[in-house]
Structure 1
Amino acid sequence: MMLPHNWPRAMANAETVMAAAEILASPEQVLAALVTTDVERWWGSPETYRMTGWTADLRVGGAWTVTVRTPDGRRLPAGGTFLEIEMPRRIVQTRRYDWNHPTLGRHETTVAYLLESTAAGTRLTICHGGFAGFADAAAEHAEGWARVLGWLQGYFGEGRRAA
């Protein structure tokens, strides 16, 4: 079944990235895919990067970490802290690369995942803020979130389900 306007959409201004997509899974399944080791199963592709070594202490104040593995073998650590958790509607977390990202360096940003139940599954909206002074990074992350949401749609569209 094709949904109207179900493709991932993303845009950025100089400070904030907004991205959204319809996901053919329940909010609980989508959140599990975003904040559990399921991240390693779908987030990335052989030609871009893969997420590995995901850990998360899923509570307010809890930390999360992941290693981004590039096709050329580099291992780039990232992580942050969970600021708000309202299961299964909303998670807010900080995010920082622990390496010198080309457009963002080690500047900390904030990602909010907002989930709304729909007839077909979940509308996932991502609000990624904290890019003031980093307009190039905001534009790059808008492209990245559209790609990530496409991967997430594919993960659920192929009949896989989060535990």
Structure 2
Amino acid sequence: MMHFPRVQSMTNGETIMASAEIEAPAERIFRALVTSEIEQWWGSADTYRLADWSADLRVGGHWTVTVRTANGNDLPAGGEFLEIEAPRRIVQTRAYAWDHATLGRRQTTVAWLLQPITGGTSLTICHGGFAGLSAAAAEHAEGWGRVLAWLQDYVEAGRLVTA
């Protein structure tokens, strides 16, 4: 197996760029992002776990998620799919249905870009809409780094996150 660098994530205070090179084909990663399989890898016992997830995977379709924090709070979010080009690209809106400490209920946009590379796939997330909320952008950049690490570990090693 080739060893790819782990995850990179950064922000300029307005937009987040996060990336990982994953030893799997784009089709495999895309499936982990858009099916109920997402519930198996997104989260950790010390942060949060997906308690409920659903998606109408089509342009104009809606998605919803509820995460359960380590202390038992349920936090819902959702949005709409703006673009879908399986297995290369997903663009979706995202907003919390609760008053997030640094972002509130502001709607942002997340683009997932999957590019085949030798030995796997380069996955890049571009998350925009943080203008004027640099603390929220920094917090979310850190979060996207965790998410990509969870996905990378799950897809490459087949490890399930334990509850």
Bin for the TM-score computed over the shorter chain: over 0.9
Q: Paired residue for 1:86?
A: 85
SS at the partner of 2:72?
Answer: coil
Q: How far is 1:2 from its partner?
A: 3.9
2:44 and 2:13 map into 1 onto residues whose CA distance is 28
Q: Look up the match of 1:57.
A: 56
The answer to whether the 8 Å contact 1:36/1:54 transfers is no
- In the other structure, the counterpart of 1:35 is 34
CA distance in 2, matches of 1:25, 1:147: 18
Compute the TM-score of the two structures, normalised by the length of structure 2. Answer: 0.94
2:79 aligned with 1:108, yes or no?
no
Pairwise CA distance, 1:159:
3.2
The SS at the match of 2:46 is coil
How many matched pairs? 160
Instruction: Report what 1:9 is aligned to.
Output: 8
The offset of 1:105, in angstroms, is 0.6
Three-state SS of the structure 1 residue aligned to 2:60 is coil
Cα displacement string for residues 87-146 of structure 1 (whole angstroms, at most 9, x for unaligned residues): 111110000110011110100100000000112111000000000011100001111111
Q: Distance in 1 between matches of 2:149 and 2:87?
A: 21
Q: CA contact under 8 A between 2:7 and 2:20: conserved in structure 1? A: yes
**Deviation digits for residues 16-64 of structure 1, max 9, x if unmatched?**
0000001121111111111221111001000000012110000000000
Q: TM-score w.r.t. structure 1 length?
A: 0.94
Identify unmatched segments of 5+ residues in structure 2: none
Matched letter for residue 157 of structure 1 = E
Instruction: Give the letter aligned to residue 41 of structure 1.
Output: Q
Residue 19 (structure 1) aligns with: 18
Deviation at 1:160, TM superposition (A): 6.0
Conservation of the 8 A alpha-carbon contact between 1:42 and 1:152: yes
The percent identity for this pair of structures is 64
Contact 1:56 1:62 in 2 (8 A): yes
Aligned position for 2:45: 46
CA contact (8 A) 1:65 1:77 kept: yes
